[in-house]
Chains A and B, each alone.
Chain A
Amino acid sequence: DGGITQSPKYLFRKEGQNVTLSCEQNLNHDAMYWYRQDPGQGLRLIYYSQIVNDFQKGDIAEGYSVSREKKESFPLTVTSAQKNPTAFYLCASSIYLGKKGGELFFGEGSRLTVL
């Protein structure tokens, strides 16, 4: 079955450590996205990518980094510069960026807790 796989599902980090969240899709979608979800705040866009080797900052990119070396993969690194990294992180994809009425397909999410 086609879909988006995020790993790990749960992750604990000590302050000052970088962590990388994995996102893989086999939907053959061009566009991929990372969102952060905090209680009562909905989804906030961190980064997005419309093609390989290209990505753009979203609304809350500070303290995060991404790469897009393969169409299928869009890993997110939460760096030590992120002041409040404890959150639920969601990866999504769409057929291509800018498709009229195009919906997002989401992974199951990764919950990061900073100890």
Chain B
Amino acid sequence: AQSVTQLGSHVSVSEGALVLLRCNYSSSVPPYLFWYVQYPNQGLQLLLKYTSAATLVKGINGFEAEFKKSETSFHLTKPSAHMSDAAEYFCAVSSFNAGNMLTFGGGTRLMVKP
């Protein structure tokens, strides 16, 4: 079985501050990992994905995530938050054992204060 836990359903940062959204996964085989962003009343958009190449993955809008096998983590970061980053972020995992179907975490709502 595979699962994803996103620590913190709500995260608030000031504009210009570091953004850190936490994601831990559980998988008995090497995983593929994804971060999606969702703006209000819209669908999900892929930010980045890890597919066993480089452990540091760069995505759109200045976001990046680092795969750490020893910590079973795939945290999302951005050096400087912008007001337009306010959205909900979802981490997801897929693996061969689960037919490469995606399992989503519960989401983290990012709020950016001016």
A106 interfacial contact with B, CB 8 Å: yes
A103 near B: Cβ within 8 Å? yes
- A54 contacts partner chain B, Cβ-Cβ < 8 Å: no
A2 touches B (CB below 8 Å):
no
Would you give the shortest CB distance from A72 to chain B, in whole angstroms?
A: 17
Which residues of B lie under 8 Å from residue A83 when comparing CB positions? none
Tell me if A109 and B9 are in contact (CB < 8 A): no
Docked-complex contact A100 and B90, CB < 8 angstroms: no
Pair B43/A100 contact, Cβ less than 8 Å? no
- Tell me the minimal C-beta distance from B108 to chain A in angstroms: 10
Q: How far is the CB of B105 from chain A (nearest CB, A)?
A: 6
CA distance A92 to B104 in the complex (A): 13
Dominant SS among interface residues on chain B: loop
SS class, residues of chain A in contact with chain B: loop
Residue with the greatest number of chain A CB neighbours at <10 A, chosen from B41, B96, B102, B106 = B102
CA distance A48 to B99 in the complex (A): 13
- Per-residue CB contact flags for chain B residues 39-65 toward chain A (1 = under 8 Å, else 0) read 001111110010110000000000000
Residues of A within 8 A of B100 (CB): 97-102
A112 CB–B CB distance under 8 Å: no
Closest to A103 in B: B46
Known: A42-B105, A42-B106. A101 touches B49 (CB 8 A): yes
Q: How far is the CA of A41 from the CA of B34 in the complex (A)?
A: 18
- 30 A-B pairs with CB atoms under 8 Å apart are A4-B43, A6-B43, A41-B106, A42-B90, A42-B104, A43-B44, A48-B101, A90-B43, A90-B44, A92-B44, A97-B99, A97-B101, A98-B99, A98-B100, A98-B101, A100-B51, A100-B96, A100-B100, A101-B49, A101-B51, A101-B52, A102-B100, A103-B46, A104-B44, A106-B36, A106-B43, A106-B45, A107-B43, A108-B42, A109-B42
